[in-house]
């Protein structure tokens, strides 16, 4: 089974950028759909985006600012975050799903089988 480890979080000023990485173990990484989610204190986990056979999806709140990509040779998925806002502050999680996701299900945490431990992103104003 795939194991996920996120990295790249930290403290950044509003308007700045960060790139998160999620390294996966296992030899079948290319077959997984990978998602990014985030959870702020006192709030529910929310979707950020996903990349897989069905395409690349983004939440409206990050569309145009965040970019998801993957390097299957390195078993890694990335989340490039630009123009960061204080409201982007959260713990960011990557997640993996066997099979594709589509416009009607990519944003549901329950669709994903494995989760990383999360990495903190803090955006100061």
Span 31-67, pLDDT tens digits: 999 999 999 999 999 999 999 988 999 999 999 999 9
Q: Give the pLDDT confidence score for residue 71 in this predicted structure.
A: 96
Tally of CB atoms within 10 A around 121? 22
Span 76-116, pLDDT tens digits: 999 999 999 999 999 999 999 998 888 889 999 999 999 99
Question: Can you tell me whether residue 97 is helix, strand or coil?
Answer: strand
């Amino acid at each position: 089974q795939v194991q996920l480890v996120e990295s790249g979080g930290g403290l950044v000023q509003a308007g700045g950028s960060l790139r998160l990485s999620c390294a996966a173990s296992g030899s079948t990484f290319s077959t997984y759909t990978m998602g990014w989610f985030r959870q702020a204190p006192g709030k529910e986990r929310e979707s950020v985006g996903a990349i897989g056979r069905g395409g690349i999806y983004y939440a409206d709140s990050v569309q145009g600012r965040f970019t998801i990509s993957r390097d299957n040779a390195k078993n890694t998925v990335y989340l490039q975050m630009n123009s960061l806002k204080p409201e982007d502050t959260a713990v960011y999680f990557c997640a993996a799903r066997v099979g594709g996701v589509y416009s009607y299900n990519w944003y549901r945490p329950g669709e994903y089988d494995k989760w990383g431990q999360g990495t903190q992103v803090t955006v100061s104003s």
